[in-house]
Structure 1
Amino acid sequence: MLQRLTPRQRFDILVSQFEPAVRQAFIEAIEDITSNIVLRRIVERLERGDINGAISAMNLDEAAFRPLDEAIRAAFNGGGVATVDAMPALRDPSGHRIVVRWDARNLAAEQWLQTHSARLVTGIVSDQKIAIRSALETGLARGDNPIKTAVAVVGRVSTVTGRREGGLIGLTTVQGEYVARARQELLSGEPDQLRNYLARGRRDKRFDKTVVAAIEAGKPVPAAMVDRITGRYADGLLKLRADTIGLHETFAALGASKDIAFRQQIEKGSLGADAVTKGWKHTPQKHGREQHEAMQGQMVPFDQPFTAPDGTAIQYPHAPGVPTRHTLGCKCFAEYKIDFVAQLVR
């Protein structure tokens, strides 16, 4: 006998279907940028002191992130279709079944996709340029030659994969600062600073013995080794960012499409807003948010927001405008229910 899937099971299936694609789309966008980099052009501009020109030569175009746009669109539309497919049969006063469909061309759907994608990609590119500018200026000020400065940003071409590895492209400004601080720690020769590096969660632990040896010897890690270590550290941070974007953007797309799918039926008159309620569903995690745990089971009418313990109004998990303290890494979702008695009375 077939068992009916629970709302959480259906949602988990959607996440497992779309999250890897969104994550991979971001990785492919970064690989597209780095694979088209001509190091000589960047070096030439740095030799002239033209940092703006060096950044321009990296071709950090928003167009490179179109695959990410498309992956998010697929998750958004997939979530909308799944939402209407899971809706119980709605009937009109005569008892006839009401046909419900997901309309990807609906104004609200199109606006969400356009606004969300534009803000995401513009933010990625803008933040990226800030991080790269800081790294280039710091490298040249430190006395590194233009080639070394450029390579530290764009990475080295691996003889194994043929791809650039260990650069800063794809990292956030904050992550770029992490790499810079790690480099300082390794070059310092100070035991406390070297131990700080060993506390970094995304470091490549295969180099820990080298760092421990430097601590015992009271010497800095050799510069060539520092380049290798920080390169692998940057790769670890890039993977973290890809994982974060994959999770966050998938949950944002699925949350928005579910809410808009219900809104579409309400606007069509197929369903009354007063007949719909939504409940907050917290997903247990190793480092879950206490506020979201406290919101588990909170029920509100469709057109009203949830309220977090700190007073934040949240239309649904990952809704636009919600502070990052309530979205980054969050795996909560909203479960919508239809009160058929209220719908029948309507």
Structure 2
Amino acid sequence: MLKRLSPRERFEQLLADFAPKLRTAFLEAIDDITGNIVLRRIVERLERGDINGAVAAMHLDPAAFRPLDEAIRAAFNGGGVATVEGMPTLRDPSGHRIVVRWDARNLAAEQWLQAHSAQLVTGIVQDQMTSIRTALETGLARGNNPTKTAVAVVGRVSTVTGRREGGIIGLTGPQASFVATARDELLSGDPAQIRKYLERTRRDKRFDKTVAKAIADGKPVPATMVDRITGRYADSLLKLRADTIGLHETFAALGASKDIAFRQQMEKGNLQAQHVTKGWKHTPQEHGRMQHIAMQGQVVPFDQSFTAPDGTAIPYPHAPGVPTRHTLGCKCFAEYKIDFVAQLVR
């Protein structure tokens, strides 16, 4: 006999299915961008001092993120289907079973997908343009030639994989800044500054002996080695961002689809909001938010928001408009329950 999964087990199964796909879709989009870059065109524009032209030559087109759009849609629809399949059997006043289905073409579903994807991709592209422009300006101001400046941004083509590696395309603005600061530390020749690099948790530790030798000698790390070290550091940060996007966007899609799936049944008259409650479920993790731990077990009516200890109203975990301090890295979810006694009385 098959075991009936608990709400947490169903949610964790969906997360395990879709988060890796979103992570891969983001990396595919970045590979598409970097794989179509023609370095010569960027260098030519930098030689003319045309920073904007160099950025434009990288073709940071929102259309490149279509794989990510599609992966989010798949997670959203998967969450909606799982929600209605997990609903207990609903019956009409005559005792007949009510058929419930997930409607992917529902207006609220389409609006969430369109607004969420557009906001995400627009934010990624705009952040990219800003950080890339800053990196190009900084590289030229430092005295680097256009080729070296461009390669630091777009990366080098690996002889093994044939793909560009080590650039900052795909990184957030702060992450791109981390790479630039790490480069400055390694080139400084100041043991105290170089030692700061060894405190970076995402560094490639295979280079630690080289860095330690530079500290002992009181000399800068050789420039060619710095390119390799910071390139691997940038790759590690890109993997981190892909992991973050995979988890965050999957949680957002599953949370929204669950809420909308219940609303669809209410619109059809199969359920009434006053008969549905939702409970906050915290997922234990190493560095869990104390506020979310305190919210564990909080139960509210369907049409009301949860209230965080700091006063923030949260319709459900990862709901649109909720401050990032309550969403980024959050692994909480809402469990919806139907009061069947009240439903039958109705």
TM-score of Structure 1 vs Structure 2, range by shorter chain: over 0.9
Alpha-carbon distance between aligned partners in 1 of 2:195 and 2:283, rounded to the nearest angstrom: 35
What residue number does 1:260 align with? 260
**Aligned twin of 2:19:** 19
Q: In the aligned structure 1, how far is the partner of 2:142 from the partner of 2:306?
A: 51
TM-aligned CA deviation for residue 189 of structure 1: 1.3
Amino acid at match of 1:257: S
Equivalent residue number for residue 82 of structure 2 = 82
Report the equivalent of 2:208. 208
Task: Tell me by how many angstroms 1:345 deviates.
Answer: 1.7
| 1:147-158 correspondence runs (5 A) | 147-158=147-158
1:341 corresponding residue in structure 2 = 341
Q: Which amino acid aligns with 1:331?
A: K
What is the aligned residue count? 346
Provide the rounded CA distance (Å) in 1 between the counterparts of 2:324 and 2:186: 32
Q: 1:95-115: CA deviations, max 9, x gaps?
A: 111111100011100000000
Give distance in 1, aligned partners of 2:59 and 2:292: 41
1:268 aligned partner, one-letter code: K
- Give the secondary structure class of the aligned counterpart of 1:60: coil
Alignment of 1:172-251 (within 5 A): 172-251=172-251
Kindly state the Cα deviation for residue 192 of structure 1 after the two structures are TM-superposed. Answer: 1.5
**Correspondence 1:98 to 2:89:** no
User: Which residue in 2 is equivalent to 1:54?
Assistant: 54
* Residue in structure 2 matched with residue 288 of structure 1 by the alignment: 288
Aligned-pair CA distance for 1:3:
2.0
SS in 1 for 2:4: coil
Q: CA deviation at 1:302?
A: 0.3
Match of 1:316 in 2: 316
- Show CA shifts across 1:151-175 (max 9, x none): 0000000011100000010001111
Q: Aligned equivalents of 1:113 and 1:128: distance in 2?
A: 22
CA distance in structure 1 between the partners assigned to 2:326 and 2:195 by the alignment: 32
Q: Is there any run of 5+ residues in structure 2 with no aligned partner, and where?
A: none
Q: Which runs of 4+ in 1 moved over 6 A?
A: none
Which one-letter code corresponds to 2:289 in the other structure?
Answer: R
**How much has 1:195 moved relative to structure 2?**
1.4
Correspondences of 1:61-76 after superposition (within 5 Å): 61-76=61-76
2:199 & 2:95 partners in 1: Cα distance?
A: 65
Q: Percent identical across equivalent pairs? A: 82
Q: 1:124, CA displacement in angstroms? A: 0.2
Matched, 1:162 2:166: no
* 1:202-224, Cα deviation, whole Å (9 max, x unpaired): 11000011111111111111111
> Matched residues in 1 for 2:236 and 2:287: separation?
20
C-alpha distance in 2 between matches for 1:115 and 1:157:
35
Alignment RMSD: 0.6
Unaligned runs of at least 5 residues, structure 1? none
The one-character-per-residue Cα deviations of 1:161-206 (angstroms, maximum 9, x if unpaired) are 1000000100011111000100111011112111111010111000
State the shift of 1:344 in Å: 1.1
